[in-house]
Amino acid sequence: MNKNMKKEIKRGLVPYVFMFLIILGVLYFVNVLNQNIHNLTYNQFMTELSSGEVKEITVTTRDSAQIYEVEGTLKKYKKDESFYVRLPKSEQVMKKIVDYSEAQEFKMTAKPDPESSALLIVLVNVLPFVVLIGLAFFFFNRQMAGNKSSLDFGKSKARLSDDKNKVTFKDVAGLKEEKEEVAELIDFLKNPKKFQKLGARIPKGVLLVGPPGTGKTLLAKSVAGEANVPFYFISGSDFVELFVGVGASRVRDMFQQAKRNAPCLIFIDEIDAVGRQRGTGLGGGHDEREQTLNQLLTEMDGFGANEGIIIIAATNRPDVLDPALLRPGRFDRQVTVNLPDVRGREEILAVHAKNKKLADGITLSNLAKRTPGFSGADLENLLNEAALLAVRRNKDKITMSEIDEATDRVLMGPAKASHKYSENDRKLVAYHEAGHAVIGLKLDNANDVQKVTIIPRGAAGGYNMMVPSEEKMCSTKTDLLEEITGLLGGRTAEEITFGEITTGAHNDFEKATKIARAMVTEYGMSDLGPLQFEQQEGSVFLGRDYNKSQHFSNEVANEIDMEMRKIINDCHKKATEIIKANKDLLKKMADISQQIADIQENQRLDKLQQKEKDKRTRRWIWVIISIVVVLVTLLLLQIFPNITNYMRKGIQIIGGLGGFWGFCNLGLNIWSKFKSH
Backbone angles phi, psi at 468, to 5 degrees: -70, 145
The reported pLDDT for the residue numbered 50 is: 83
Out of 178, 226, 433, 563, pick the active-site residue: 433
283 vs 301: CA distance, rounded Å: 30
pLDDT tens, position by position, 11-41: 555 555 555 555 555 544 445 444 577 888 8
Spatial contact of 195 and 202, defined as CB atoms under 8 Å apart: yes
Say if residue 1's pLDDT is above 60. no
**Terminal-residue alpha carbon distance, the chain:** 26
Angle between helices 3-33 and 583-639 (to 10 degrees): 30
Spatial contact of 267 and 207, defined as CB atoms under 8 Å apart: no
Closest of 410, 337, 333 to residue 370, by C-alpha = 410
| 197-225 as b/e: b if 16+ CB within 10 A | eeeeebbbbbbbbbeebbbbbbbbbbbbb
182 vs 335: CA distance, rounded Å: 8
β 54-62/36-39 pair status: unpaired
The reported pLDDT for the residue numbered 151 is: 44
Does the pTM of the predicted model rise above 0.85?
Answer: no
Q: Where are the alpha helices (DSSP H) in 105-126?
A: 118-125
| 41-53 as b/e: b if 16+ CB within 10 A | eeeebbebbeeee
Average pLDDT, the chain: 76
β 448-453/463-467 pair status: antiparallel
433 catalytic? Reply is: yes
What would the mean pLDDT of 417-438 be, rounded to a whole number?
Answer: 78
589 pLDDT band (50/70/90 cuts)? confident
User: CA angle, corner 23, sides to 19 and 28, nearest 5?
Assistant: 150
Paired strand residues for 71: 58, 84
644 vs 357: CA distance, rounded Å: 60
pLDDT tens, position by position, 207-264: 899 888 888 888 888 887 887 778 888 887 777 765 566 778 888 888 888 888 877 8
What would the mean pLDDT of 82-100 be, rounded to a whole number?
Answer: 82
User: CA angle, corner 136, sides to 133 and 138, nearest 5?
Assistant: 110
Lowest mean pLDDT of 110-114, 291-295, 578-582, name the range: 110-114
